[in-house]
Amino acid sequence: MRKSLSFNFKATGVGSVPFLDVDNTCQRILEIFHDIPFWPQFVKRSSLEDMSIQASQGLPLLRLNHEKNAITVHAVENSETELVAFYEHFLAADMDYFAIGVDYATGLYRLVELIEESPQSYGSFIKGQIVGPITFAGSLKDSSGRSALYNGEITDTIVKGLAIKALWLIKKMSISGKRPILFMDEPYLSGFGSAFTPIRREIVIKLIGEVVEYLHSRSPALIGIHCCGNTDWSMIIETGVDIVNFDAFDYMDYFLLYRDEIVRFLEGGGTIAWGAVPTTSFSGKETLNDLKIQLEKGLNRLYEWGIKKGFVAERSLITPACGLGTLEPDKAERIMELLSSLSDIMSEPPR
C-alpha cells in the first residue's frame, strides 16, 4: 500500500546543479527548499557525479574509463569471482559495500551534515535520487556491443546493485532525522515505444518494480520515478512507486491522457510531482503568473474528473521539469527562486 501524506505543493529539486561551490549551494538549497531539501549532484564539478558513474561503485564487471568519463562492461577472466562476491555482499545485506563515496556525492554528505546542525529549521523530509535500472543498463554496452538491457546476467546485477545502493542512500539520508524521499531517474524511458527504446513494457515494470518492492519492504522511504520526457505513464504507475515526477510544462497534455490510471494512483495514496518550471526550454522570461496558469491548466483537468481540490493539493509536489546541471548558473538560480515562489502561492489556503 502506498504511503499517503499531505504535501500541499511543497517544492523540491530533481538532482543535478551547475554550481561548483558545495557548501554555498547546499546552504542555498536549504534556504529555498526548506520543507524538502534535496542533495545536489555537482555534475560540472566532477564527472564522478554523473548519475551512472555515481551509482557504479560495487557493481560487478563494470569499469570506469576516466578518459571518456564513461562506464563500460568489462569481460575478464575472473568474472565469475566478481559475480560471486557481488551476490555474497548483496545477500548478506552488506549496504556499506555498496556505499557511494564522498568524492562521488559531495552534496549528499554536506547536506546531511548541515541539516544535522539545525534539524528544527527544516521540514520533515529529505530528498535524494539515483539512476534507475532501465537508464543505467540502457546506457551500457556489453562485450559483444549489445545493450546491457539484453544481457540478463548484467541487468540482474544492476537491478539488485541499485536496489541495495538505494537502501544505503536512504540510510545515509535518514541520519539527518528526516524521512527520505528517493527518486529513480529514468530519462531512458522518454519516448518509450519508439525505435530508440526497444524494451518491452512488462520488462520495465518488472525491473523497476523489483527495486521498488525491495525498498518498500526494508524502509519507510517514499519512492518516486522522474522522467522528463513523454512515456507510457500507466507503465510507470504500475511499477508501484509512491510519486510520479514529470515535465508538467512541456508534456502536460501527454500525461493527462492517462485519466483512469492517474485517478487510481491518487486514490491509492500516490503523489504527483509536477515539473512546473521548465529547464531545457527555460528562456528567463517566464513569470510566476505564467507558471501558475500553466500548472492550473493541469490541475483543472483533475478537478473536472471529479477529484476535489484539497485532495489534489495533498498529493501534489512541485519540482523543476528536469535537473539543472546543463544550465547556466544564473538560470538555475532563477528557476529555483521561481519554484519556491510558485510553491508559496499554490500552498496558500483559498480565500
Q: What is the pLDDT of residues 324-335, one digit of tens each?
A: 999 999 999 999
Question: Is 60 exceeded by the pLDDT of residue 351?
Answer: no
Question: Across-strand partners of 246?
Answer: 227, 274
The per-residue DSSP string of 133-176 comes to HHHHHHT-B-TTS-BGGG-HHHHHHHHHHHHHHHHHHHHHHHTT
pLDDT of residue 298: 97
Which residues form the domain of 258? 10-346
Distance CA 84, CA 290 (A): 55
Question: Is 50 exceeded by the pLDDT of residue 67?
Answer: yes
In a domain, 351, yes or no: no
pLDDT of residue 4: 55
Share of the chain above pLDDT 90, in %: 87
pLDDT in tens, 264-313: 999 999 999 999 999 999 999 999 999 999 999 999 999 999 999 999 99
Place of cell 538532482: 15
In a domain, 117, yes or no: yes
Confidence of residue 105 (pLDDT cuts 50, 70, 90): very high
Confidence of residue 147 (pLDDT cuts 50, 70, 90): confident
- Domain holding 271: CATH number? 3.20.20.210
Question: Is 70 exceeded by the pLDDT of residue 76?
Answer: no
Task: For residue 59, give Cα distances in angstroms to 49, 95, 98, 192, 283.
Answer: 16, 12, 8, 26, 40
Question: Is 80 exceeded by the pLDDT of residue 194?
Answer: no
Mean pLDDT of the chain: 94
In a domain, 1, yes or no: no
Domain count along the chain: 1
- Give the range among 70-84, 89-103, 212-226 with minimum mean pLDDT: 70-84
In a domain, 114, yes or no: yes
In a domain, 3, yes or no: no
Question: Would you call 166 exposed, middle or buried from its count of C-beta atoms within 10 A (0-12, 13-18, 19+)?
Answer: buried
Cell numbers representing residue 235 in the block: 507503465
Question: Is 80 exceeded by the pLDDT of residue 196?
Answer: no
Question: Is 90 exceeded by the pLDDT of residue 197?
Answer: no
Q: With CA atoms as reference, report the closest residue to 52 among 127, 130, 108, 109.
A: 130
In a domain, 5, yes or no: no
Confidence of residue 195 (pLDDT cuts 50, 70, 90): low
In a domain, 326, yes or no: yes
pLDDT of residue 1: 41
Residue 77's Cβ-side half-sphere holds a number of Cα atoms within 13 Å equal to 0
Beta carbons of 321 and 275 less than 8 angstroms apart: yes
In a domain, 220, yes or no: yes
Phi, psi of 272 (to 5 degrees): -100, 130
Instruction: List CB contacts of 96: < 8 A, sequence separation 6 or more.
Output: 168
Confidence of residue 348 (pLDDT cuts 50, 70, 90): confident
Q: Which is more confidently placed, 58 or 142?
A: 58
For the segment 34-63, the average pLDDT, to the nearest whole number, is: 96
Task: For residue 160, give Cα distances in angstroms to 189, 211, 217.
Answer: 20, 7, 14
pLDDT of residue 193: 66
